[in-house]
Structure 1
């Protein structure tokens, strides 16, 4: 597809299987043709024949419009994103337009970058099995950290994290906690619950956060139970977590 976009022509498949490909130019009567096959049972495709000659008139060139998927664009920019992870979707759109004289929308550029990131590091779903290891590493690397997670039938359900340095510094903050939540806009959605305080300079002091499915009573109670374990040594064991939850819910109404 990148080759076709570079040379400004469209093609169609005469044969398209996992082992054999036969592609011709979409212009009637054009002799351009490519034949390829997979070597053995692998994914390597070898071109076995190609007639790289076009017979087009002026109207064929003026009516050409690139047809390329975001996945192909992502593969094209993969190496650049490896070198520069901050490469923006808008940069992809601009560079692609300069190279192929085809204007992409921002949404297409964003999808292209997501495909490139997936090719580099795999889909996000393949990283959930690293969660136990990440929690252990957090607790080992930062003494006093609490990082716990739960699952339901082998699927990720909840994650709670409170860093040891945040827990140690909380005793110097005002003894008031603020609870809040926001929805996540990623592919898997969910909500982020948080607990924060105010330090001596009246600045926001993050204490803990959790990733859960939604703002329901069970998830809030689980978050507050873990939060109680974090700050329990500062004489708050007598606090009723259910009361915390009800107060918070009433304030949000």
Structure 2
């Protein structure tokens, strides 16, 4: 019987005990003493401590020695053996299984590969998987910033981290943080442009991912901006809390509110341009407006190469004001953007009592000079007559500017 042979083997191995210790424990090793289930149970109860100390290597040795016997055992005999030795199996297996578990599944921060079906388990603690980036030797990038953001985004998606081996104006070389892993990318700049291309690429990982936490070190504001920028192109403009949810669900990565706020600003700049760039291209904007809309009036004032004032009145607004009552309402409002400033507005009221915009301007601040400059430009659109009435608040600069430029108009 298999169970008798197994018990005999346990006793012969002694689990590190000598013959004298077996005698002291009243261990009986004779085959004739083990013919029935009741006798076997008595033996197990008497020698329970000895059996619990059996090492896995001794069991494996027994299995190899008695391979031919085990292959001949019928299913019914196996079931009978399992039932007779149920409590031994329950005591031995759990502790051995815990030793063989490859990953600590109680760690909530573990990030496994995105597609486990593509992963081949090489050892208990390492995986071989592709980074899924689609890169290849000769793959080109627009500039170095795009190189770095693309690599970080790939690392976040697949749940690994990399270290920069070398980085300068013409070269970027990175490798996996695990020294045993062979994943690495080398990108070199073209001589005649700012573009980069991959010259060396090993796409497969064979690293331990248990150290990766939910807060990925590569999940910077610039990387998140690169990931969400297309949503701003579509006009959705998500707020920071929505960006946090998007990154958490799609990239399985936790980022702070402040990081998402900065990512939003960067994404807006990527799609719409920076405020500095917008002010720098005002002269080209003026040209395009006047080219597309004849009789549109614009004016730009700069001082020492820096923006000061900008005025615009579109042709449809100029023509429409001739057909409504000669009443202007003027006021200013603060701009809350990065560059600040004040917007000055002149508007009327149409036949349906709706606000009718006539002209507007962006100035550095609301003062005597800016309001005077605004009304001088408005004079090219709205003539100075005694039939004109101008309404405003009690701003002293407005009162002075109207008295200087629109001396025939009524002000209240």
TM over 0.5: yes
Does structure 2 conserve the Cα–Cα contact (< 8 Å) formed by 1:36 and 1:46? yes
What is the SS of the residue equivalent to 1:218?
helix
How far did 1:126 drift? Answer: 3.3
Q: Which has the larger radius of gyration?
A: 2
Q: Which residue of 1 aligns with 2:353?
A: 202
Please point out which of 243, 248, 253 is paired with 1:102.
253
After TM superposition, give the deviation of residue 213 of structure 1 in Å: 0.8
Assess if the C-alpha contact under 8 Å between 2:190 and 2:197 holds in 1.
no
Residue deviations 1:153-208 (CA, integer Å, cap 9, x gap): 22322111112222222244343322211111222221111112223332222111
Q: Matched residues in 1 for 2:351 and 2:160: separation?
A: 66
Matches within 5 A, 1:62-77: 63-67=213-217, 68-77=219-228
Structure 2 residue 189 is the aligned partner of structure 1 residue 36: no
Could you say which structure has the higher strand fraction? 1
SS at the partner of 2:351?
A: coil
**Aligned residue for 2:174?**
23
* 2-structure distance, mates of 1:14, 1:46: 15
Taking a change above 3 Å as real, the CA distance of residues 205 and 247 of structure 1, as seen in their structure-2 partners, is farther
Determine whether 1:46 maps to 2:159: no
In the superposition, relative to structure 1, how do residues 122 and 172 fare at CA in structure 2: closer, same or farther (>3 Å)?
A: closer
Distance 1:37 1:143 in 2: 50
Distance 1:5 1:94 in 2: 15
| Contact 2:367/2:397, CA 8 A, preserved across alignment | no
Cα distance, 1:206–1:106 mapped onto 2, change above 3 Å? farther
Q: 2:398 aligns with which of 234, 245, 249?
A: 245
Tell whether the 8 Å contact from 1:191 to 1:211 is kept in structure 2 after alignment: yes
Which moved further from structure 2: 159-168 or 39-48? 39-48
Which of 58, 71, 86 is the equivalent residue of 2:236? 86
Q: So what's the TM-score if we normalise by structure 1? A: 0.76
Structure 2 portions without partners, runs of 5+: 1-151, 403-412
RMSD of aligned residue pairs (Cα, Å): 3.4
Could you tell me whether the CA contact under 8 Å between 1:93 and 1:103 is conserved in 2? Answer: yes
TM-score, L = length of structure 2: 0.50
Query: 1 CA distance for matches of 2:224 and 2:397?
Result: 50
